[in-house]
């Protein structure tokens, strides 16, 4: 049944678009590549390129047509694919950079800005394909422009694969070194997950899960500016009333996303998947999650009360989105990527926001430590320990957590790295000087919590 909109709703949405930075951040087409497996890796690469370019040949045009006809900004058109570790498993070669370059070429051909799915799920261990993929990540991210990679190292059911965590610490260091001329930019295209969702439309963590249909459209909507305006317009209300205001706002934003997503799916003749309503900030002024928290009454993000404010915001966004659509999925909530949020950057520069405080905030937000720049001499073991801490939060609390961290080659605390575009500017943050090397080198798997025994 088509969605019905009242005239006042349409006018309100137009105002949100014009003055409050409301947009559809991404329309992401998920494509199954399970039928692209082949013993000859070059033939597998050709099959991947051929299928992606055929399935997504009209994706960008349809997104632009809908944006023009409905007046809704659709910022990015993207693709997610079946985890390449599984697709390449039967290949006669472990040179998965060949598959990465096929993905990159296909993404360029159809005009999308990113393609996600150079991924592996290794929460309990490694298959041959997983080993090959992890060994190829650094070179593949350095040698491609649009390919994004993600690795799931933990789940609430399986525990934390600490061998995978340590490997990812080393891979992140290697990726930074291979993209040294770009400030370690390759690391901005690499995410390490706990409890990864299979229908996430946002990069760099998107992939097309094994339970997904052949082809699907998932939509990611973002509206920090809209929520900020709603909070500022209600300065004296109590927290219960403020949560209701945010829920109502999230409801309206999600309905717009569902409208665009269903229309895109109809025109592309594929299945509609989910709407992910995530307050994903940009470096633009007025498009900041940190500003929302400060509008609630905090003097500066990172100060005492920040985690409580973020918990209220994240919960209200999820509740409002869930009421607006039967198919809310992905991450849905509030993101706190430091380099992409002007208010977060300000908090770091002024000393109110530390890595420890960000970790505490990830207990109640949508993802985790996102777009964090650290000194270039940060060890692989320290990076692995940061990943392990974040994975533990996700595992115990049955939520998705992730780490996207950039050890900036040659970078020192107090400096900045310019990443460009939506990736913004990352101030380099200090890490603890105390070593976690002996802890990380124990290896093995941290067992799942007792709460995982739900059958």
Question: What integer best gives the mean pLDDT of the chain?
Answer: 89
The verdict on 310 and 189 lying in the same domain is no
Mean pLDDT to the nearest integer, 391-397: 94
Whether residue 13 is contained in a domain is answered as: no
State the residue range of the domain holding 428.
220-444
The verdict on 182 and 259 lying in the same domain is no
Whether residue 7 is contained in a domain is answered as: no
Question: What would the 3-class secondary structure string for the chain be?
Answer: CCCCCCHHHHHHHHHHHHHCCCEEEEEEEEECCHHHCCCCHHHHHHHHHHHHHHHCCCHHHHHHHHHHHHCCCEEEEEEEECCHHHHCCCCCCCCCHHHHHHHHHHHHHHCCCEEEEEEEECCCCCCHHHHHHHHHHHHHHHCCCCEEEEEEEEECCCEEEHHHHHHHHHHHHHHHHHCHHHCCHHHHHEEEEECCCCCCCCCCCCCCCCCCCCEEEEEEEECHHHHHHHHHCCCCCCHHHHHHHHHHHHHHHHHHHHHHHHHHHHHHCCEEEEEEEEECCCCCCCCCHHHHHHHCCCCCCCCCCHHHHHHHHHHHHHHHHHHHCCCECCCCEECCECCCCHHHHHHHHHCCCCHHHHHHHCCCCCCCEEEEEEECCCCHHHHHHHHHHHHHHHHHHCCCEEEEEEEECCCCCCCEEECCHHHCEEEECCCCCCCCHHHHCCCCEECCCHHHCCC
The verdict on 424 and 331 lying in the same domain is yes
Q: What angle do CA 295, 296, 299 make, to 5 degrees?
A: 70
Q: Structural domain tally of the chain?
A: 2
The verdict on 344 and 378 lying in the same domain is yes
What sign for the dihedral angle of Cα 407, 409, 412, 415? negative
Residue-wise pLDDT for 312-353, tens only, equals: 999 998 888 888 777 888 888 888 888 888 888 999 999 999
Looking at the DSSP bridge assignments, the partners of residue 403 are: 192, 369
Residue 401 confidence class, pLDDT cut points 50, 70, 90: very high
The verdict on 234 and 133 lying in the same domain is no
The verdict on 133 and 246 lying in the same domain is no
Residue-wise pLDDT for 277-307, tens only, equals: 888 776 666 678 899 999 999 999 999 999 9
CA dihedral (208, 196, 157, 369) in degrees, to 10, reads 170
Whether residue 207 is contained in a domain is answered as: no
The verdict on 428 and 379 lying in the same domain is yes
Q: Which CATH number covers residue 324?
A: 3.20.70.20
The verdict on 283 and 380 lying in the same domain is yes
Q: What angle do CA 380, 162, 367 make, to 5 degrees?
A: 80
The verdict on 116 and 235 lying in the same domain is no
Mean pLDDT to the nearest integer, 216-226: 86
In the chain, % of residues over pLDDT 90:
65
Mean pLDDT to the nearest integer, 195-205: 91
What sign for the dihedral angle of Cα 132, 134, 135, 136? positive
Q: Check residue 65 and give its pLDDT.
A: 92
Return d(Cα 318, Cα 356) in angstroms, integer. 25
Is the pLDDT assigned to residue 263 strictly greater than 50? Answer: yes
Whether residue 5 is contained in a domain is answered as: no
Whether residue 208 is contained in a domain is answered as: no
pTM of the model: 0.91
Q: How many CB atoms lie within 10 A of CB 252?
A: 19
Q: Check residue 14 and give its pLDDT.
A: 52
Task: Enter the tokens of residue 324.
Answer: 């607006």
Whether residue 214 is contained in a domain is answered as: no
The verdict on 178 and 308 lying in the same domain is no
The verdict on 149 and 232 lying in the same domain is no
Q: Check residue 40 and give its pLDDT.
A: 95
Residue-wise pLDDT for 50-94, tens only, equals: 999 999 999 999 999 988 888 788 888 999 999 999 999 999 899
Is the pLDDT assigned to residue 19 strictly greater than 50? Answer: no
Whether residue 56 is contained in a domain is answered as: yes
Mean pLDDT to the nearest integer, 402-413: 94
Whether residue 12 is contained in a domain is answered as: no
The verdict on 266 and 352 lying in the same domain is yes
């Amino acid at each position: 049944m088509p969605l019905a909109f009242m005239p006042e709703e349409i006018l309100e949405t137009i105002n949100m678009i014009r003055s409050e930075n409301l947009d559809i951040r991404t329309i992401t087409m998920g494509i199954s590549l399970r039928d692209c497996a082949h013993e000859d890796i070059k033939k597998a690469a050709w099959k991947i390129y051929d299928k992606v370019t055929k399935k997504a040949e009209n994706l960008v045009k349809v997104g632009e047509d809908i944006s023009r006809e409905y007046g809704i900004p659709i910022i990015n058109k993207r693709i997610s694919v079946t985890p390449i570790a599984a697709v390449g498993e039967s290949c006669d070669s472990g040179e998965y950079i060949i598959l990465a370059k096929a993905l990159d070429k296909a993404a360029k051909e159809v005009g999308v800005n990113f393609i996600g799915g150079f991924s592996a799920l290794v929460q309990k261990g490694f298959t041959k394909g997983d080993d090959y993929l992890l060994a190829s990540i650094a070179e593949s991210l350095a040698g491609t422009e649009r390919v994004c990679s993600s690795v799931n190292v933990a789940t609430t059911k399986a525990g934390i694969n600490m061998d995978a965590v340590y490997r990812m610490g080393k891979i992140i260091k290697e990726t930074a070194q291979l993209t040294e001329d770009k400030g370690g930019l390759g690391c901005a295209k690499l995410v390490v997950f706990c409890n990864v969702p299979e229908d996430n439309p946002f990069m760099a963590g998107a992939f097309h899960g094994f339970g997904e249909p052949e082809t699907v459209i998932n939509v990611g909507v973002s509206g920090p500016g809209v929520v900020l305006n709603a909070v500022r317009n209600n300065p004296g209300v109590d927290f219960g009333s403020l949560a209701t205001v945010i829920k109502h706002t999230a409801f309206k934003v999600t309905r717009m996303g569902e409208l665009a997503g269903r229309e895109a799916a109809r025109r592309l003749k594929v299945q509609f998947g989910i709407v992910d309503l995530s307050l994903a900030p940009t470096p633009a002024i007025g498009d900041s999650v940190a500003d929302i928290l400060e509008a609630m009454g905090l003097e500066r993000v990172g100060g005492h009360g920040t985690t409580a404010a973020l918990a209220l915001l994240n919960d209200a966004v999820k509740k409002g989105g869930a009421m607006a659509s039967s198919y809310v999925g992905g991450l849905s909530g509030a993101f706190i990527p430091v380099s992409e949020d002007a208010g977060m950057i300000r908090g770091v520069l002024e000393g109110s926001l530390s890595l420890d405080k960000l970790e505490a905030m990830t207990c109640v937000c949508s993802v985790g430590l996102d777009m964090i720049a650290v000194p270039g001499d940060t060890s692989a073991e320290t990076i692995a320990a940061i990943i392990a801490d974040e994975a533990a939060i996700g595992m115990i609390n049955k939520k998705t957590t992730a780490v996207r961290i950039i050890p900036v080659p040659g970078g020192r605390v107090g400096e900045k790295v310019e990443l460009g575009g939506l990736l913004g500017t990352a101030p380099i943050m200090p890490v603890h000087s105390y070593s976690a090397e002996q802890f990380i080198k124990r290896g093995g798997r941290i067992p799942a919590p007792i709460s995982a025994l739900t059958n």
